[in-house]
Amino acid sequence: MPHLKAQATIHFPNIAKYFDTLIHSFSAHNMELQADGDGHAITSSFGAARMRARPAALDLFVEASDADRLQPPEA
């Protein structure tokens, strides 16, 4: 069960124009997306996430079991 959670709201005036591109980008990086209510559930090796587009904003919610999983992978 995840015990670390983070959330952010990103000001994104044209989110409707780019939302499909964001979804494809997540999918291209080995993340599974599924429509979930008013947003999308995202599953990846790091844990679980959810994103929701609103007028002029993108909400992100991330959960992971430990801090190391919240770090970006090394190149």
Provide the edge-to-edge strand list for the sheet that holds 39-44: 4-11, 57-64, 47-54, 39-44, 32-36
Q: Are 46 and 70 within 8 A, CB to CB? A: yes
17 burial level (CB within 10 Å; 0-12, 13-18, 19+): exposed
Domain limits, the chain = 4-66
pLDDT tens digit string along 17-75? 998 898 888 888 888 999 999 999 999 877 889 999 999 999 999 888 877 766 666 65
Assigned fold of 4-66: TATA-Binding Protein (3.30.310)
pTM exceeds 0.85:
no
Which of 66, 34, 71 lies closest to 50, judged by CA?
34
pLDDT tens digit string along 12-21? 999 989 988 9
Residue length, the chain? 75
Give the integer Cα–Cα distance in Å for 33 and 65: 19
